[in-house]
Amino acid sequence: MVPELFARAGYEAVTLDLQHGMFDFEAAVDSLGLIALGGAHRIARIPVADNALAGRLIDMGAECIIAPMINSREEAEQFARAMKYPPMGERSWSPRRAAMLSGQTDHEYLTNSNSQTLALAMIETQEAIEALDDILSVPELDGIFVGPSDLSLSLSKGTALDPNGPETARACADIASKAKAAGKIAGIFCLSAEMVEEAVAQGYRLLSYGIDTVFIDGAARTALGETAWT
């Protein structure tokens, strides 16, 4: 029920995290249907370099795939090409559920899906920042998605987990303006409402804000704190 709750709460899109979250493929397949039922767009994050899973999830109805730790043009290209049908890429044919969930026939889906699905490469290392122009030049790639926690770890050479820090914020602003100049979508993970505001001001268009376990943890602690006997 959790993905559906988020969709019904008013999020425009709900992301299933198969990199760090608890989803296996079957749970993700169920959840994609529940997000659709709740009326939100369907996003999934794959584990590092798992382009085969990107293909399976998009066939099962994910509309956007986020690929973590993309550090070179070649990695971006391999990922994005797995997401797009020829002649653009080399996505393999069998989109049964994706066509169903998007209310299209297979033929309509074939015509439309390259422009209706998003391949986003995560920028979350110093190496990725150095290769950013090359990554942004991949025509099949729709955009980038920043992971500020890993980015801060990488920029500080492992000495600081500081997703809100000034060095990370400067890097995030640069990434957004380069993405905009390249005509690509810029997305980012936000840990707070303040980060959402800052990211919007920097030009980010896809904001991923809130984690189910963090919300539950916070609500549980608040509820306990409100009782007289704890």
Which residues contact ligand 3PY (rule: CB under 6 A)?
A: 68, 124, 147-150, 163, 189
Q: Which is nearer to ligand 3PY, 72 or 149 (CB)?
A: 149
Name 156's Cβ contacts closer than 8 Å, sequence gap at least 6: 162, 167
Identify what 189 binds: Mg ion, ligand 3PY, none; CB under 5 to 8 Å per kind. ligand 3PY
**Least CB distance from residue 122 to ligand 3PY, whole Å?**
6
CB-based contacts of 133: which residues, under 8 Å, 6+ apart? 178, 182
| Rounded distance between C-alpha atoms, residue 198 and residue 65, angstroms | 24
- Minimum distance, C-beta of residue 148 to ligand 3PY, in the bound complex (Å): 5
Catalytic residue among 1, 3, 9, 20: 20
Q: Which residue is at the shortest CB distance from ligand 3PY? A: 147
**What is the smallest separation between the CB atom of 226 and ligand 3PY, expressed in angstroms?**
30
Contacting positions for Mg ion (CB under 5 A): 124, 147, 150
Instruction: Determine the Cα–Cα distance for residues 191 and 209; give it in Å rounded to an integer.
Output: 6
Other C-beta atoms lying within 10 Å of the C-beta of residue 66: 30
Copy the structure tokens of residue 144: 């980038």
**How far apart are CB 189 and ligand 3PY at their closest, in Å?**
4
Residue 148 or residue 210: which is nearer to ligand 3PY going by CB? 148
How far lies 101's CA from each of 7, 52, 55, in Å? 15, 21, 16
**Spatial CA neighbour of 175 closest among 137, 150, 146:** 146
User: Please, which residue, 20 or 221, has the CB nearer to Mg ion?
Assistant: 20
Give the residue closest to Mg ion by C-beta: 147
Does an H or E element contain 206, and which?
strand 206-209
Tokens of 51: 């382009």
What does 142 bind: Mg ion, ligand 3PY, none (CB cut-off 5 to 8 Å by kind)? none
Residue tagged 């025509």 (tokens): 139
Question: Least separation, in Å, of the C-beta of 73 and ligand 3PY?
Answer: 21
* DSSP 8-state assignment for residue 122: E
Query: Which residue, 52, 61, 6, is CA-closest to 28?
Result: 61
Catalytic site includes residue 107? no
Would you say 109 or 189 has its CB closer to ligand 3PY?
Answer: 189
Residue numbers annotated as active site: 20
